[in-house]
Copies of this chain bind each other. A is one copy, B any other.
Amino acid sequence: MSNEIPVKIYLSEKEMPKFWYNFRADMKEKHPPFIHPGTLEPCVAEDLYPVFCKELVSQELNQTDQKIPIPDGIFDFYKMFRPSPLIRAYSLEKMLDTPAEIYYKFEGNNTSGSHKLNSAAAQAYYAKQEGLTSLTTETGAGQWGTALSMACAYYGIDLTIYMVKVSSEQKPYRKIVMETYGANVIPSPSDKTIVGRKILADNPTTGGSLGCAISEAIEQAITTENCRYVLGSVLDHVLLHQSVVGLECKIAMDKYKIKPDIIIGCAGGGSNLGGIIAPFMGERLNGKNNIRFIAVEPASCPSLTRGKYCYDFGDTAKTTPLIKMYTLGNRFIPSANHAGGLRYHGMSPIISKLYHDKFIEARSYIQNDVFDAAKIFIKTEGILPAPESTHAVKAAIDEALECKATNTKKVILFGLTGTGYFDLLAYSQHNSGEMTDHVPTDDELNAGFSSIIPFDIKY
């Protein structure tokens, strides 16, 4: 084991980034704007104010400033759980007998168990600054809901979380953590909202869906005084907050003169990937590196690898603006898959644009294969990854084995977004050989695509 580069690189507080990196400023072609479904014109800030905090709207629409300062109030919160370690996977490399150097940025060492806290902190802070007294959101797997509960407890803001009913039943511990931080967790669909009551009337036994939970959370936000809705992925400002992950990687790697050849991230809504690649993609877009960026998604929900690049709604209830993105159609429902955070029909408009312009590659894996990779990782590196993160683990191992096959030394960096402590049923199914997966057929994809309305939009 080399002693030159330590197993874990922790930045000091003084080395931590004081700004977020907005690599949209480096994009020669920006991604097309949000479109108001009523007017079919680009959304302006005022269109978004009823739903989102003003500062977040401003960040959402800022495609020009490369560096956005992190306010002291957020930086103080970051210092409670950041910096996260950049880890050299010496044990994994040895086991794979690969000439590749493998690094991973581990975001799971906080109570929410994932990178989601980076944006939750920012969003709760700005809400408090704006004088709001409460927030609403939705959660599926629960990482985002837990992160936002922690941030709202810290800043002193009330929080209501609509949690997909089937998830709240399957993951009671997630619900307890959020309640322990003071959040009001409501299984969705509920009788608290008009949309919830309507869905329940139509289908009293439904287990709910993320689309429905989003609709309930938005309804409560716009009908409650001093309340706004917040979202944990997809949007540009969420990717912006997650850039702290990539910046810490960059600072640590520069310090040790490490130059990544490949950067890998799992991609559901896209915030993890957008975060870890941020400063590296900024360089790439300016012709300063030739890094391969790889998005990894589940074969059960292949928005990049099999989706269409077009305008679609962000939710099933069609309440969001229209977003130009890779989409499987707003009505596409992926098969049950434990990587709940990757079961989104669409994709961040930034990631979509970069993929469309071939700055990013994408691949998909079936669930059993990513858990096989996770088992190797668990036993060599000790950490038990979240189901979402296992996708990146699998891709990193595959790339390292390719290096072995071709006797090529490459430097691989991947994002280990979180821990799987609340997702152990998935591991249990894999342990017992009972894990299944479903790759959608072309007919199933076509059924999803048919829910995309072909608006006549000029972007």
A→B interface (CB under 8 Å): 1, 3, 6-8, 10, 12-13, 76, 79-81, 91, 109-111, 113, 150, 153-154, 172-173, 176-177, 179-182, 375, 378-384, 419, 421-422, 424-425, 427-428, 431
What's the least CB distance linking A64 to chain B, in Å?
A: 32
Q: Which of B7, B10, B180 contacts A427 (CB 8 A)?
A: B180
Contact (Cβ within 8 A) B428 A176 = yes
Could you give 14 example pairs across A and B, Cβ below 8 Å? A6-B13, A7-B13, A7-B79, A80-B382, A110-B383, A111-B378, A153-B379, A173-B173, A176-B428, A177-B421, A177-B424, A180-B384, A180-B427, A181-B379
Contact (Cβ within 8 A) B80 A421 = no
Contact (Cβ within 8 A) A111 B428 = no
Distance A113 CA – B13 CA, assembled complex (angstroms): 25
Taking CB as reference atom, which chain B residue is nearest A111?
A: B384
Taking CB as reference atom, which chain B residue is nearest A12?
A: B6
Contact (Cβ within 8 A) A182 B427 = no
What's the least CB distance linking A314 to chain B, in Å?
A: 30
Task: Tell me whether A381 and B80 are in contact in the complex, defined as CB-CB below 8 angstroms, given that A176-B424, A431-B180 are known contacts.
Answer: yes
Taking CB as reference atom, which chain B residue is nearest A429?
A: B176
Contact (Cβ within 8 A) A419 B179 = no
Taking CB as reference atom, which chain B residue is nearest A383?
A: B111
What's the least CB distance linking A373 to chain B, in Å?
A: 13
Contact (Cβ within 8 A) B431 A179 = yes
Q: Which residues of B contact A150 (CB under 8 A)?
A: 382
Q: Which residues of B contact A381 (CB under 8 A)?
A: 80
Identify 8 new A-B residue pairs, CB closer than 8 A, beyond the known A6-B12, A150-B382, A177-B421: A1-B76, A110-B383, A111-B421, A154-B379, A172-B424, A176-B427, A177-B384, A180-B378
Task: Tell me whether A382 and B424 are in contact in the complex, defined as CB-CB below 8 angstroms, given that A7-B13, A176-B431 are known contacts.
Answer: no
What's the least CB distance linking A284 to chain B, in Å?
A: 31
Distance A181 CA – B422 CA, assembled complex (angstroms): 16
Residue from A81, A180, A181, A378 having most chain B Cβ neighbours under 10 A: A180
Q: Which residues of B contact A179 (CB under 8 A)?
A: 428, 431
Contact (Cβ within 8 A) A421 B421 = yes
Q: Which residues of B contact A424 (CB under 8 A)?
A: 172-173, 176-177, 180
Contact (Cβ within 8 A) B431 A382 = no
Taking CB as reference atom, which chain B residue is nearest A385?
A: B111
Distance A419 CA – B380 CA, assembled complex (angstroms): 22
Contact (Cβ within 8 A) B80 A379 = no
Q: Which residues of B contact A383 (CB under 8 A)?
A: 110-111
Q: Which residues of B contact A425 (CB under 8 A)?
A: 176
Contact (Cβ within 8 A) B79 A8 = yes
Contact (Cβ within 8 A) A154 B111 = no
Q: Which residues of B contact A173 (CB under 8 A)?
A: 173, 421, 424
Contact (Cβ within 8 A) A380 B154 = yes
Q: Which of B81, B153, B380 contacts A378 (CB 8 A)?
A: B153
Q: Which residues of B contact A111 (CB under 8 A)?
A: 378, 382-384, 419, 421
Distance A273 CA – B111 CA, assembled complex (angstroms): 24
Contact (Cβ within 8 A) B382 A79 = no
Distance A419 CA – B91 CA, assembled complex (angstroms): 25
Q: Which of B6, B153, B180, B182 contacts A79 (CB 8 A)?
A: B6
Distance A177 CA – B370 CA, assembled complex (angstroms): 17
Distance A112 CA – B341 CA, assembled complex (angstroms): 24
Contact (Cβ within 8 A) A180 B375 = yes
Q: Which residues of B contact A431 (CB under 8 A)?
A: 176, 179-180
Distance A177 CA – B423 CA, assembled complex (angstroms): 10
A-B residue pairs, 5 tightest by C-beta: A176-B424, A7-B79, A6-B13, A153-B379, A173-B424
Distance A437 CA – B383 CA, assembled complex (angstroms): 35
Taking CB as reference atom, which chain B residue is nearest A419?
A: B111
Contact (Cβ within 8 A) B154 A382 = yes
Q: Which of B113, B182, B422 contacts A379 (CB 8 A)?
A: B182
